[in-house]
Structure 1
């Protein structure tokens, strides 16, 4: 009986070690697969940024927390969009490139409406009535904020419009664009679909 118990104990120990080794192997394999997936996702992000001529930057916090009024006189902050990829655009109604770009931005906004994506356009130093008239005329439905004193744009270092920042779901800046882009293109859709699906 003692001999049998001894064999049972040895067998149990061997099985326990096997399970431990196997579980560690599975855990290592999962960690390795996750690391490779993250690396692949990062490489894909870089490629898609280059396709759209977006400057990819090491993730940094915005230079200042945005807290501005929208066209409905509601206070809006960047924190309101946490958990979403944010398209943050600085613009004016008199800027020729902005006037061309805005309808293209609306198409991008409509394409990802209802998903983890937010489009925010910060107007520089113009009256709310002028911005509202522009939005109504061009049937724009994304969020417009009013930087009436230019403090926010100054802290972001805006020297020309349009300038756009791409923010990740935690609110960190990951991309920057000087000038307009074809935001309604398939390359643009592919980029934001990737960011929404894979970027933290």
Structure 2
């Protein structure tokens, strides 16, 4: 038997390979068939303007309410309460840029979380919807109450009626002061730090206010960073001799009172409920602060 020459064998293999490839291709076309045409009966994705209410209901309505009035199902337990978008004044102009910034970053120390994970289209949609609610599109505009206006003018977050966390304090003489025992007076909780210049500089002004309203106003200077009440008192004596320095007994008071910046002030009404919270140094002789204190001071005896 003669062997096939190499050129003839290569030709045979080439023809065989082509035939197999043609057969497989023909079978795949018959088995798979052409791609189906798109279903023109399905609705297109909702445009951005129409997605706003949907995204809002998913992420915002439980706190801010269905129409943006701060009356959602979760609002009663939140302090500070959620914003009523239709109420005035806002701390900043309700522009799309400002609303986007708050939605994207959230507000530390509040229930307003960051929504950085929202897709850009959804973020645009919900910002546009909140802007409409802020313009009154969600209902009638509700002005702030007189008390809320006083708090806003003095730079305080409205906490009216909320129950403050329990607080027990120690002074340098190892005496205990409990917030619950001070009902009947307006209590000003002044959270300060030994390295906070602005904190210690405003202590003399607070000391004068306490003397002016003796028996009606109690100022508690709560140090957040001293190891002992004696250490805190040594610092305070340099700036306001006679002002008692206090340290929170359990070590978690600053966290309970959401102290994220110094100084932080809480006002507690004579009935023991919270009035408001503020961060940053204040001019306690200025009109907004004196009006705020006068509103909640108990009657003189």
Normalised by the length of structure 2, the TM-score is: 0.47
Shift of 1:136: 2.0
**Residue from 137, 150, 167 that aligns with 1:66:** 167
Structure 1 match to 2:147: 45
Shift of 1:142: 4.3
Q: Is the 8 A contact 1:69 1:146 kept in 2?
A: yes
Shift of 1:138: 1.9
Say if 2:158 is the partner of 1:56: yes
User: What is the aligned length?
Assistant: 155
Structure 1 match to 2:246: 145
The runs of 5 or more residues in structure 2 that have no matched partner are 1-143
Higher Cα Rg, which structure: 2
Q: Distance in 1 between matches of 2:200 and 2:217?
A: 22
State the SS of the aligned residue for 2:258: coil
User: Runs in 1 of length 4+ with deviation above 4 angstroms?
Assistant: none
Shift of 1:46: 2.4
Q: Distance in 1 between matches of 2:243 and 2:187?
A: 12
Q: Distance in 2 between matches of 1:140 and 1:56?
A: 32
Structure 2 match to 1:6: none
Q: Is the 8 A contact 1:124 1:148 kept in 2?
A: no
Shift of 1:44: 3.5
Superposed counterparts of 1:187-198, under 5 Å: 187-197=288-298
Q: Distance in 1 between matches of 2:259 and 2:291?
A: 27
Q: Is the 8 A contact 2:170 2:229 kept in 1?
A: no
Shift of 1:90: 1.0
Say if 2:221 is the partner of 1:118: no
86-95 vs 180-189, greater mean Cα deviation = 180-189
The structure in which a higher percent of residues are helix is 1
Q: Is the 8 A contact 1:105 1:184 kept in 2?
A: no
Normalised by the length of structure 1, the TM-score is: 0.68
Say if 2:205 is the partner of 1:93: no
The runs of 5 or more residues in structure 1 that have no matched partner are 1-41
Structure 2 match to 1:159: 260
Q: Distance in 2 between matches of 1:87 and 1:140?
A: 19
Taking CA–CA contacts closer than 8 Å with sequence separation of 6 or more, which of the two structures ends up with the larger relative contact order? 1
**Residue from 268, 271, 281 that aligns with 1:180:** 281
Structure 2 match to 1:130: 231
